[in-house]
Amino acid sequence: MPEWLENHDYKPPLNTLDCPWQTGVGTDLDFFGWHQANPVQGERFNAVMQGVASEWKTPMDLYPVQERLIDGFEGGVLVVDVGGGLGHDLQRIIDRDPVPAAQYILQDFAEIVAAAPVKEPITTMAHDFFTDQPVQGQYKDIQNCGELMLTRC
Ligand SMILES: C[S@@+](CC[C@H](N)C(=O)[O-])C[C@H]1O[C@@H](n2cnc3c(N)ncnc32)[C@H](O)[C@@H]1O
């Protein structure tokens, strides 16, 4: 990092392809691209996310779930976890507040969702979150620990 900062006039990185990460690891790839290209490390990263997430509160511990999501729910997609990794947060949400007939969608890169050990009512969808959201409907954004989830209005 000191080397990268010195070479960039001590300005913060604004481009994921030109960060201390590239200098430190010796790659031209961004963080997630490198983990995809290095599956052993990618698997370890996903396992770490699964582990640390189990220690965090879920967005649903911080949000008025009953009033804002469940009351008046008429079926269909209840939560889309965008960049949801292996699906651990969705599973915790379901375990905490099971909602009959609700559908939950896990989105991430194709390789990640293919490895996700999820089961009904979670379905997976490969999706790059820098592209248009394919799940249509009216959504609220819940920001939690830098992660984004989309939930029903
Ligand atoms: C820091 S991890 C968080 C995983 C999970 N949401 C959690 O809180 O444990 C970021 C996740 O975003 C995914 N991701 C990164 N860039 C993405 C993109 N452009 N489109 C979809 N998913 C992406 C990664 O594969 C990874 O699973």
Ligand 1 cavity residues, CB under 6 Å: 32, 49, 53, 83-85, 89, 108-109, 112, 128-130, 147
Query: Alpha-carbon distance 72 to 99, whole Å?
Result: 11
Q: What is the pLDDT of residues 25-47, one digit of tens each?
A: 999 999 999 999 999 999 999 99
pLDDT of residue 149: 60
Say yes or no to pLDDT of 140 above 80. no
Residue nearest to ligand 1 atom 5, measured at CA? 84
Tokens of 143: 């920001």
Atom nearest to 145 CA in ligand 1: 8
Mean pLDDT of the chain: 86
For the ranges 22-36, 39-53, 78-92, the maximum mean pLDDT occurs at 22-36
pLDDT of residue 144: 45
